[in-house]
Structure 1
Amino acid sequence: MGAASHVSIIVSDLENHRCLPRMLQSVSRQSTGLDRVEILVTGNGSHTPFDLSAWSAIAGTDAIRLVQAAPDVAPGETLNSTVAGSQGDLLLFMRPDYRLDPKYLTTALSVFTDCPEAEIMYPDYIRLAPDKNSGVTSGLVQLPDFDDSLLQTMNFLGPAVMMRRQVWERIHGFRDNTTYRYWDLWVQAAAMGTAFFHVNYPLASCEHAKTPFRERAEDGRRKAMLVVNTQSYFHMHTVRWALAYLRGDPWAQAFNFMTIPDSIEVTRMMHEFNMKSMGTDVLVREAIRQFDRSSRRA
């Protein structure tokens, strides 16, 4: 595409997700801007040249490439290499289960043209339940305007986040010591003072499947590594929690799923552990029972 390239869509298909054709179809339906797009699909070696020609027909563009991942290279490193081989000055990271609204590119290009201070754009989105028995409900997800305190506790940005290449060049890229790679990426950018722009309209959609048990079991370590990766962005108490959790200190609990404890929650965590260690919690419970008995007698 050469100089015509403006947007590089980086798609991670390292697990051969069945929804990739639908995602590419949503790209083909863009009202404008498709001629300024290149698509790079990172695969795990199982894709064939036939897949590439089929994807090109679905996406409605010949500017689509397949980047095969070496079997001994970690996913984050593979994605970094894919970005390095891209040409666009705007980067959009997609998963196969994401979809773009037909007005996505029109809106995104307008944002970065009309608001030169905007460096990362994120829109509201539609949550899709893959089936009726998943325990997940479909609906509109209205995201808040950017706030560091929110990103320090949860990954609230949603799918279809676009960034300027200059932002990518200021950060470390994807890291493999946490599988919360996208959250880690936004934290890196925020720590550098990047300006986030919220589009108050659903320009994307994605499937939300039920979380596997293994992901819940590994949640604490993933969050702790994310905090350790960019310690300057978090409160010192939160950093203390992350280091303690990785060491296996008994007071440092994993906390709520996909939520990093803030300084107040870390203080509460330590207080409750110390109370139990001293046996004070037993005395408090006994005092409450005695009070309840006296109240009933009265």
Structure 2
Amino acid sequence: MRKHTVSIIVSDLETHPGLPRLLQSVSRQSEGLDRAEIVVAGNGGHDPSSETLWRAVTGLDAVRLETFEPGVTPSRARNLAAAKSIGDRLVFLRPDHRLDPKYLTTADAVFADHPETDVMYADYIRLAPGRSQSPGPAMIQLPPFRDGLLQARGFLGPGVLITRQAFERTEGFRDNTFYRDWDLWVQTAQAGGNFYHVGYPLTSCEHRKVSFRERAEDGRCKAMLVINNQAFFPDHTVRWALAYLRGDAWAEAFGFMTIPGPMDVTRMLHDHAMKTMGTDTLAEEAIRQFDKAVINSTTLL
């Protein structure tokens, strides 16, 4: 049987202090390291001796730094690193991610038993940073794949593995949305990719605080994700995305990191129409009049 190679691509544009721990978790794989490489994508912030240090930390020679221009975006850095990698399977990680020792062996078993698989994703452990107000540690159990779930949320979690063949059927990571991973999985599904869920936590990651900018840009980034992949989404959802980007009054941002479905869009349109006609004001006035009548009748008694 052919032995597949895995390229573990880590975007480290801000030289995250957790990178050595991620590299250690990779080095502790029970087997498969002889067919793996680690590619760290940087933008000039790493010391020239970093590669030597990382090799010492992991005990592996197949660790290298790919340095791109200072202004490179996270999406472009990942795409360039993928192009320079050699694996026929790709894993894109952040420095705060960790791999379970059975990650690579589980991947081998999944693809051996289900050779049609294009994307493997697994349950994961959410870690709370020290002295943090974030939710506590928890195991996050993910559902089996359905297009409908991906249309609503980017639920796949960290440590997703994709075959190079499937990756090359997409446009790669895009710059016009914060939700670059979600966008890539939608592209893959739209191209007919097969997703396989492993019901075991193969990765862990820190609970990352959401920035003010991410919350402020949530609606626009979701709308851009829909516009990028219009054929994957229901017509009503595409209508919402176009309206949101135009600034139409009825198109709300909706729940954080959640894309509205057809019923949600219909509800938005209905509520806006009621407000425009003043129906909501009339209903409130009717309630006030009813309450007043009840009070007066009680007084008379």
- State if a TM-score over 0.5 links the two structures: yes
Over residues 106-154 of structure 1, what are the superposed CA-to-partner deviations in whole Å (9 max), with x where a residue is unaligned? 1011111221011100010000111343232210100000011111011
Partner of residue 130, structure 1 = 129
Question: How far does residue 49 in structure 1 lie from its aligned partner after superposition?
Answer: 2.3
Partner of residue 235, structure 2 = 236
- Of 185-194 and 74-83, deviating more is 74-83
The CA distance in 2 between the partners of 1:183 and 1:60, in whole Å, is 33
The CA distance in 2 between the partners of 1:105 and 1:293, in whole Å, is 70
Partner of residue 24, structure 1 = 23
Partner of residue 271, structure 2 = 272
Over residues 141-172 of structure 1, what are the superposed CA-to-partner deviations in whole Å (9 max), with x where a residue is unaligned? 00000011111011110001001111011111
Partner of residue 39, structure 2 = 40
Partner of residue 150, structure 2 = 151
Question: How far does residue 288 in structure 1 lie from its aligned partner after superposition?
Answer: 2.5
Question: How far does residue 290 in structure 1 lie from its aligned partner after superposition?
Answer: 3.0
The CA distance in 2 between the partners of 1:140 and 1:293, in whole Å, is 52
Partner of residue 173, structure 2 = 174
Report the 3-state secondary structure (helix = DSSP H, G, I; strand = E; otherwise coil) of the residue aligned with 2:49. helix
Which segments of 5 or more consecutive residues in structure 2 lack a partner in the other structure? none
Partner of residue 64, structure 1 = 63
Aligned residues: 296
Which segments of 5 or more consecutive residues in structure 1 lack a partner in the other structure? none
The CA distance in 1 between the partners of 2:143 and 2:3, in whole Å, is 34
Over residues 192-227 of structure 1, what are the superposed CA-to-partner deviations in whole Å (9 max), with x where a residue is unaligned? 111100000011100112212111011111111100
The CA distance in 1 between the partners of 2:171 and 2:17, in whole Å, is 30
Over residues 263-288 of structure 1, what are the superposed CA-to-partner deviations in whole Å (9 max), with x where a residue is unaligned? 11111111111111111110112223
Over residues 80-108 of structure 1, what are the superposed CA-to-partner deviations in whole Å (9 max), with x where a residue is unaligned? 11111111111111110100011111101
> Retained in 1: the 8 A contact 2:124–2:158?
yes
> Retained in 2: the 8 A contact 1:224–1:245?
yes
> Retained in 2: the 8 A contact 1:11–1:39?
yes
Partner of residue 15, structure 1 = 14
Is 1:212 the counterpart of 2:233? The answer is: no
The CA distance in 2 between the partners of 1:201 and 1:87, in whole Å, is 28
- Of 130-139 and 162-171, deviating more is 130-139
Report the 3-state secondary structure (helix = DSSP H, G, I; strand = E; otherwise coil) of the residue aligned with 2:192. coil
The CA distance in 2 between the partners of 1:33 and 1:204, in whole Å, is 16
The CA distance in 1 between the partners of 2:42 and 2:240, in whole Å, is 36
The CA distance in 1 between the partners of 2:67 and 2:32, in whole Å, is 27
Over residues 212-248 of structure 1, what are the superposed CA-to-partner deviations in whole Å (9 max), with x where a residue is unaligned? 2111011111111100000000011111111111111
> Equivalent pairs: percent with the same residue?
60
> Retained in 1: the 8 A contact 2:125–2:204?
yes
> Retained in 2: the 8 A contact 1:5–1:87?
no
Q: TM-score, length-normalised on structure 2?
A: 0.94
Is 1:197 the counterpart of 2:196? The answer is: yes
Question: How far does residue 295 in structure 1 lie from its aligned partner after superposition?
Answer: 4.9
Q: TM-score, length-normalised on structure 1?
A: 0.95
Question: How far does residue 289 in structure 1 lie from its aligned partner after superposition?
Answer: 2.8
The CA distance in 1 between the partners of 2:3 and 2:107, in whole Å, is 17
Pair 4,196 (structure 1): closer, same or farther in 2 beyond 3 Å: closer
Over residues 41-86 of structure 1, what are the superposed CA-to-partner deviations in whole Å (9 max), with x where a residue is unaligned? 0012011221111111222211111111212443322221111111
